[in-house]
Amino acid sequence: MRGSDAFQQDAQHHLAAGDVPAYMQTLGQSARAAASALRRADTQVKNQALAAMAQQLDAARRDILQANAEDMQRGRENGLDSALLDRLALNDQRIDAMIEGLRQVAALPDPVGEIDGMSYRPSGIQVGKMRVPLGVIGIIYESRPNVTIEAASLCLKSGNACVLRGGSEASASNAALSRCLQAGLADAGLPAGSVQVVATTDRAAVGEMISMPAYIDVIIPRGGKSLIERISREAKVPVIKHLDGVCHVYIDTTADPAKALAIAVNAKTHRYGTCNTMETLLVDAPIADILLPELARAYAEHEVELRGCERTLALLLQAVPATEDDWHAEYLAPILAIKIVDGMEEAIEHIERFGSHHTDAIVTQDYSLARRFMAEVDSSSVIVNASTRFADGFEYGLGAEIGISTDKLHARGPVGLEGLTTQKYIVFGDGQVRQ
Amino acid sequence: MRGSDAFQQDAQHHLAAGDVPAYMQTLGQSARAAASALRRADTQVKNQALAAMAQQLDAARRDILQANAEDMQRGRENGLDSALLDRLALNDQRIDAMIEGLRQVAALPDPVGEIDGMSYRPSGIQVGKMRVPLGVIGIIYESRPNVTIEAASLCLKSGNACVLRGGSEASASNAALSRCLQAGLADAGLPAGSVQVVATTDRAAVGEMISMPAYIDVIIPRGGKSLIERISREAKVPVIKHLDGVCHVYIDTTADPAKALAIAVNAKTHRYGTCNTMETLLVDAPIADILLPELARAYAEHEVELRGCERTLALLLQAVPATEDDWHAEYLAPILAIKIVDGMEEAIEHIERFGSHHTDAIVTQDYSLARRFMAEVDSSSVIVNASTRFADGFEYGLGAEIGISTDKLHARGPVGLEGLTTQKYIVFGDGQVRQ
């Protein structure tokens, strides 16, 4: 098998010649070879690489900030808006956070090698499942350079090689971070192909990356819905998708009013731009005339615009009429759609028809309703009596999160280290043959 | 929501008008609606439907055999070969086997609703995962009509609606079986859309089926490699693939010779046409000159053709030279490729380079080698000291098998009821909000 250095030299050669397809193929081959080494790497070796990467980041602060200043300068010249510039910007505090992130991932339990459900079969063989890395993971993301460190650390810890394609606006920052990652890998004796940051801003690189099933086992796009939809449509490699979060809270008549108020306010106003933010509130009719005016006062304090169904409008003068589009909307903004329904059945029907199967909650004191809501709502997170904002890898105890999957196959909901692995069957026998 | 009968009427209407796209869309809508009902169905109701289906099959033997006779007649007229005609043929014994299959699936534990890893988080919420159906499963298969019953029963038991597209040569048989399935669903009060057999032999139906992500959550093709590759290439819906099985047995020098002999003979000769049959034997050099001649005698009794590397040829006069193609070959026939290697390292490299990541085995008495082989071989089944032929849903104790997945994501290896489900996160709180 070819050595990692030979691949890196070839890659540089193709890059210099402007041959993007050959460059990406070489990264893919290098990653595939590195994946074999990573699959066998001890937890200790992987943790050593993560610790060395953290040290390298600390030592290279000046380089990183200088590279980031270049990106920021170019960004301002290209007229990036202030939100984008803020996401792009690095400072000592953000570098501290990356270093802390690397150390946290090193401290997480290693999912690789975990054996599940080993049992004897009548034939005398023992069968179980062993957790193993997926192989090579491709990650395509946008402006935030810290994703480079996050993605690299999670892939490495779960025993996967990765190919990282960040936004072109962050290219200098990502190149500086890549040098730290490479030095960390070398320190632990792991191949350079274990983590590769794509070093061209040519958009053809993405097209190649999503068309190499021989070298890349799964693509995880991180970014806006349009990026993810485009990649999913064109990819020849499986994609772990994170599409929209049209999340609901349904408040049942038996709900504890204080809890209902707290949950409905938190689910909407804790952060507006996140996928687990509530976008539509469903209220059971008998409790609506007491609860809604109080809720409206709380939302008014947060300057949340309310868009209601007809029955809601009759109760809340400050609400504007909701249209069909509002029931589908992922506002990611201080706007809330409100609908009064007649019972949980209607609430579930609404969620099924208009929701995105991301995260949906019920507030109720009724045991049977809670039990039924849990079983019947087909969403990646179903919550009883808590805010939808809890649908998050850290809150769920995964220790880290590479994204939230809205797919049904493989990983569903917040994806941590385990979502970057798969299980193979293992069999122990002592000479058994099939009769 | 529209009733199941309305969908069935619409479907008949589109079918009569020859509008295949509209027909398939209607089946899809009907399946999606049925999936909501099935998700909520108790185990008892699903088992009742399975039992009623078994009764219906028993009562409809005459109809089924008559329909099958039509298919056989047409098959003979169309010049189907005898192997295909054999797969197509039904008789009382085969109907008995279908009835028994339905009863076995009814007796399996219901995977739906199983809750895993529930634990308290520092915030006070309790988080865990609940096993739930995938939704709607599309199955595309070839001539054997019993797949209709197998697929329907596994999808139903796992709470999924299904759309079944069998081979056109079995259309009359499948229609007769479909009537029994429908009667069974009606008996248990489940919607007709729960199990739908596509009633047109127009090939456009397959194209539609694999392009309806709104209505079908996953496609499982069962058949030859070319069918599966074509469907995977064209599908807009996730596909659980079962591609080739280029399986290896590696015999280490420390192997118990009697066990090695038994395993190597069984793995090749127990059945030639199955995906878990050994296609290449790898033998550690120091044991080759003792073991190979003995093995060759055993294979000669089974009339297995041997194709060897140069070192093998020097030991076995009856062997013919193997070419590069032989190392890649899935013979599905009494042919075996043999290679002498220098140690496990080389064996694993060979498996990685030429294998299909399906099932690979080692025969060894060395503890450390067994442990390393287990960890390092990246196949859906990795076996120590037993025949590759054990890689099978029944032998593994899954109770049933809808296929063997060669994918890494979602299900890997034999797929039983659990592979037809997914897990969602569930959260129980008591008013918690995110700080």
Domains of chain B, first to last: 4-234 (3.40.605.10), 247-390 (3.40.309.10)
pLDDT digits (tens, 9 = 90+) for B382-393: 999 999 999 999
Chain A contact for B426 (CB, 8 A cutoff):
yes
CB atoms closer than 10 angstroms to residue A310? 10
Which of B384, B387, B430 comes nearest A433 by C-beta? B387
Question: Across the interface, do B386 and A431 touch by the CB < 8 Å criterion?
Answer: yes
Residue B238 pLDDT greater than 80, yes or no? yes
User: B58 vs chain A: nearest CA distance in angstroms?
Assistant: 30
Residue B18 pLDDT greater than 80, yes or no? yes
How high is the pLDDT of residue B2?
Answer: 64
**Of all helices (H) and strands (E), which one includes residue A133?**
strand A126-133
How high is the pLDDT of residue B199?
Answer: 94
How high is the pLDDT of residue A418?
Answer: 94
List of residues 6+ apart from A368 with CB closer than 8 A: none
| Residues in a beta bridge with A197 | A164
Sign of CA dihedral B340, B344, B346, B351: positive
Question: Across the interface, do A429 and B384 touch by the CB < 8 Å criterion?
Answer: yes
Single-letter amino acid code for the residue at A303: E
- How far is it, in rounded angstroms, from Cα A73 to Cα B72? 75
Q: H helices of A146-250, where?
A: 146-157, 171-187, 204-209, 225-234
**Of all helices (H) and strands (E), which one includes residue A385?**
strand A381-386
- How far is it, in rounded angstroms, from Cα B65 to Cα B61? 6
- DSSP 3-state assignment of B163? strand
Q: Which two tokens stand for residue B420?
A: 């037809």
- How far is it, in rounded angstroms, from Cα A354 to Cα A360? 12
Q: Are strands B136-140 and A421-432 parallel, antiparallel or unpaired?
A: unpaired
Chain A contact for B350 (CB, 8 A cutoff):
no
- DSSP 3-state assignment of B181? helix
Tens of pLDDT along chain A (435 residues)?
567 778 989 999 999 999 999 999 999 999 999 999 999 999 999 999 999 999 999 999 999 999 999 999 999 999 999 989 999 999 999 999 999 999 999 999 999 999 999 999 999 999 999 999 999 999 999 889 999 999 999 999 999 999 999 999 999 999 999 999 999 999 999 999 999 999 999 999 999 999 999 999 999 999 888 889 899 888 989 999 888 899 999 999 999 999 999 999 999 999 999 999 999 999 999 999 999 999 999 999 999 999 999 999 999 999 999 999 999 999 999 999 999 999 999 999 999 999 999 999 999 999 999 999 999 999 999 999 999 999 999 999 998 889 889 899 988 999 999 999 999 999 999 999 999
Residues 120-179 of A with CB under 8 A from B: 121, 123, 125, 127, 130, 132, 134-135
Q: Which of B157, B189, B149, B190 is nearest to B58 (CA)?
A: B149
Question: Across the interface, do B376 and A270 touch by the CB < 8 Å criterion?
Answer: no
Question: Across the interface, do A376 and B352 touch by the CB < 8 Å criterion?
Answer: no
Give the rounded distance of the alpha carbon of B389 from its chain centre. Answer: 15
- How far is it, in rounded angstroms, from Cα B140 to Cα B145? 12
Question: Across the interface, do B381 and A263 touch by the CB < 8 Å criterion?
Answer: no
List of residues 6+ apart from A82 with CB closer than 8 A: none
Residue B1 pLDDT greater than 70, yes or no? no
User: A330 vs chain B: nearest CA distance in angstroms?
Assistant: 19
Q: Lowest mean pLDDT: which of A132-146, B228-242, B283-297?
A: B228-242
Residue of A409, A423, A428 best to disrupt the B interface, most CBs of B under 10 A: A409
Q: Which of A245, A247, A252, A246 is nearest to A346 (CA)?
A: A252
Residue of B373, B387, B418, B420 best to disrupt the A interface, most CBs of A under 10 A: B387
Residue B403 pLDDT greater than 90, yes or no? no
Position B340 confidence tier, pLDDT thresholds 50, 70, 90? very high
How high is the pLDDT of residue B53?
Answer: 98
Position B4 confidence tier, pLDDT thresholds 50, 70, 90? confident
Helices (H) and strands (E) in chain B, counts: 16, 16
Residues 92-121 of A with CB under 8 A from B: 113, 119, 121
